[in-house]
Structure 1
Amino acid sequence: MPFHAVNRAKPARRPIEIRTVHRVLSAVACLVMLYVGVTGSAIQLLDLGAILSGKPESSAVMQSVNEGRFGNGFYSAVTMGDWGAAALPPGLDSGKAVDTTMAAFRKAKPGTIPAFVELRMVNGRAVGQVAYPDPDAPPDPRRFGTPLAASAFDVATGGQVAAMDVRGAYPPASFRQSLKQWHRFWGPGFFGTRDVPGVYVELLAGIALWVLIVTGLVMYFRLLRQRRKLKKPQLFWTTSDMWRSLHRSVSIVAAILLILVAASGTWLGFESSWATFHRHRPPPESLAITEAQAQTAIATALHLFRADQAATPIRLVRARIWFGQLEGVVVTATVPTQQHVYNVATGTEQRLDSPLYPPSPFPFGLHVHELVKHFHSGELLGLPAEFLDLLAGLSLVFLSVSGLWMYVQMWRKRASSGRKALFWK
């Protein structure tokens, strides 16, 4: 009988174990997670310190917190000096104030076309302020085109007074602002002040944190199921390895907080990365408005705002044409500051991502991006959420340190027996 070779099937490769994925990824990404946790916790400590000590919105920390809240460029009617400005008198006749302002402006700047018109308080008096293009005005780094200057006039007398800077509010240089940039991997010391490629690192860090959370929870529930079969149903337990016991307990207690922080942070990284491939130069802004349009826009904005908030003090009201839409803008003299933008033609309140505006580079619009950003910091939901956000950051710091320490201990134990590979199954 001829000899026939026996066909033997090749042994199937064992799938990569969850424990291996968790261990290897933690060894690779542990320092990055530690960095994210430290910078994020430091930001939360600064924010909580500013809030609990009653820091005004004009402080550098609070200006950094509010960055982007009211839109970019001239979409924001909140200007550099507005955080502590006084409220307009409740009985101000806005129609007469606009008439007086425009008459004085035509006399002071004959032939000059206004970019926008606003009523506000400057040095304790109600003034009408008119902005207009001026190549010699201080440039605004957040917008394209010719800079704007402004002339201001007392609404009672028409006399010219000192104008307020019309550039949109933008946070000054501060430790908190630098921390925010460092946290996102695009501050000084990384890639300059550009967001590329830092936002890609931010996205990868978020994905890595997600994988660590998911694999850690899978391992925990598998172990919990095994213990319950042995009649040991406790959710928390200790072993002779103190670091492992603490690491497991902290990860379970902080799991929900870390999931929320990881979800929002990863989403911000995704949206910011998406935006780098969908940037476009917006069309030129509409920097021209007539006196009649200014009267209509201011009257409409005040009417719509008062119908919703009858007693809320108003810091300023502005009339403008924004990308073809006649709008009235109301900024409140409240803490926190509110900005309400009304479309005069439709009588509706606008959002940052109105379909009437140029498309946003973010996949779901600027409004959603700002909501997620302030949810990520906890600021959207108030003081309790900010404390929980700090707890999540401190938990991430501890889990990074304890995870790295356990890995080093395991590697040293393996190395003592001649197995010196940095990674193993």
Structure 2
Amino acid sequence: MRIVHRWIAIVILGFALWFSITGIAVQGIDIATIMSHAPATDPNMLAIRESIDGPPNQIVIRPQDYAAQSFPTGSDYARLFESLTRAVRSDLGPAAPLAYLDVRSEQGKAVGEVRSGEITLRYSLADGQRLPPPPNGPQGPQSSAHNTAKHLHRLFFLGDDMLWLNAFVGIGLGAMIVTGIVMYFRLLKARARLKRYNPFWSAGGAWRRLHRSVSVVAAVFLLVVAVTGTLLSIDSLSFGLYRALYPDRLVHGFSPIGTVGDFSTPLRDDERDPMLVATLAAYRAHDGDRPIKAIRLRTFAGHPQGIIIAGGDATEQLIFNARSGMTEGLSGAGYPYTGFPTGWQLHELLKRIHRGDVIGVPGRVIDLLSGLSLAFLSISGLALYLDLKGRRSKAGRKGLFWR
């Protein structure tokens, strides 16, 4: 077990140190951005939220929604949707296909939005007047400190054909953690037979004592980071292979059609009111009376959906099936393939576990401490290896690998 642990460490130590330092950088940037209450339009905040609400063809929430004023309690949403439908039918005619109907609060006023084909129309719902086109949201990854550090962390600069390195190092790191845990408990058991029960014993010198102590405390957290990081890297590798194998299924040479294509079915006018009623009922059952900032009705990939943007400081996008009232995720039966074998929903969950924010800022702090632990273990492990190698060299044993 010790041999396996040492040999793996020699092979991946440099990568482990790289991943720990760049991971610390990403997490440090994110925590500083969140704790400083950066606005939703801040480049780092945009990067943090980049894909949590789905690929571009599923996202309804916009950066300005986070600071938008909510609709007053008791607003007549049915009347607002009726006014929107009347306005767009007056402009486009009764047969024009409508991809979605969207009612939202902007600067304290009710605004309606409709897409028909390549046209997006917006109206003031107070008087039915046409408004300028919707603000163009950021397209693709934004230039930010977060994304710079993330690209370094994921070795993107080496190209898609080298993404296997992430998975290789993740598997190696997981194996090191497991072998380290096994060795620790073997020693702990042997010491227990001698009635030495201290789990943080001091034998072996300062480096070994510190290495062992940090390992014991951080092992479980590091294993979670290693496993989720490995799964994410395999997902990303599969994404790269998909783009290489099926260039005809890409838009702009990069994005799979499943992430940006229009998979909506035109809404009929007689579907509007039942979908709205079901959506509001589902929302109230799910979330109570949190203030609403926007509602969109659509049929996406065969799923009748009502999407609600709600909340104050913690504004979020919620998706409900506008027929059954059940909550819906970012993946599901009939959804288009996005390039990730796990599906967008699970991929995003793995990312949230990997970076710790599945339990909020405390999870991010734990993740940051895990990164610091990995950096220390890499350095202390190297110190132990060089010390042992030096002693072996003096004895005439100069090999890099030994039993």
TM-score by length of structure 2 reads 0.87
Residue 37 of structure 1: CA displacement?
0.9
- Residue 218 of structure 1: which of 182, 192, 197 is its match? 182
Residue in 1 that maps onto 2:45: 62
Q: What secondary structure is seen at the aligned counterpart in 2 of 1:327?
A: strand
Residue in 2 that maps onto 1:162: 132
Conserved in 2, the CA contact under 8 Å of 1:78 and 1:169? no
Runs (4 or more) in structure 1 with deviation over 6 Å come to none
**1:412-423 equivalence runs, <5 A:** 412-423=390-401
Residue 287 of structure 1: CA displacement?
5.4
Q: Structure 1 residues 267-276 or 250-259, which shifts more?
A: 267-276
- Residue 74 of structure 1: which of 54, 57, 76 is its match? 57
2:225 matched to 1:258?
no
**1:139-218 equivalence runs, <5 A:** 149-165=119-135, 172-186=142-156, 189-191=157-159, 196-218=160-182
Residue in 2 that maps onto 1:123: 107
Q: Which has the larger radius of gyration?
A: 1
Residue in 2 that maps onto 1:272: 236
- Residue 106 of structure 1: which of 61, 84, 89 is its match? 89
TM-score by length of structure 1 reads 0.83
Q: Structure 1 residues 94-103 or 250-259, which shifts more?
A: 94-103
Residue segments in structure 1 that go unaligned for 5+ positions in a row: 1-17, 135-148
Q: What secondary structure is seen at the aligned counterpart in 2 of 1:83?
A: helix
Distance 1:122 1:163, change over 3 A: farther
Identity, in percent, stands at: 32
Distance in 2 (CA, whole Å) between partners of 1:122 and 1:163 is 13
What one-letter code is carried by the residue in structure 2 that aligns with 1:90? T
Residue in 2 that maps onto 1:29: 12
Conserved in 2, the CA contact under 8 Å of 1:115 and 1:320? yes
Q: How many residues align?
A: 388
Distance in 2 (CA, whole Å) between partners of 1:85 and 1:257 is 38
2:80 matched to 1:97?
yes
Residue 112 of structure 1: CA displacement?
4.9
Conserved in 2, the CA contact under 8 Å of 1:81 and 1:169? no
Residue segments in structure 2 that go unaligned for 5+ positions in a row: 250-257
TM-align CA RMSD:
2.6
**1:300-311 equivalence runs, <5 A:** 300-311=278-289
Conserved in 1, the CA contact under 8 Å of 2:267 and 2:299? yes
Distance 1:103 1:302, change over 3 A: same
Q: Structure 1 residues 232-241 or 254-263, which shifts more?
A: 232-241
Q: Which has the higher helix share?
A: 2
2:211 matched to 1:247?
yes
Q: What secondary structure is seen at the aligned counterpart in 1 of 2:67?
A: coil
Distance in 1 (CA, whole Å) between partners of 2:172 and 2:373 is 16
Q: What secondary structure is seen at the aligned counterpart in 2 of 1:342?
A: strand
Residue in 1 that maps onto 2:255: none
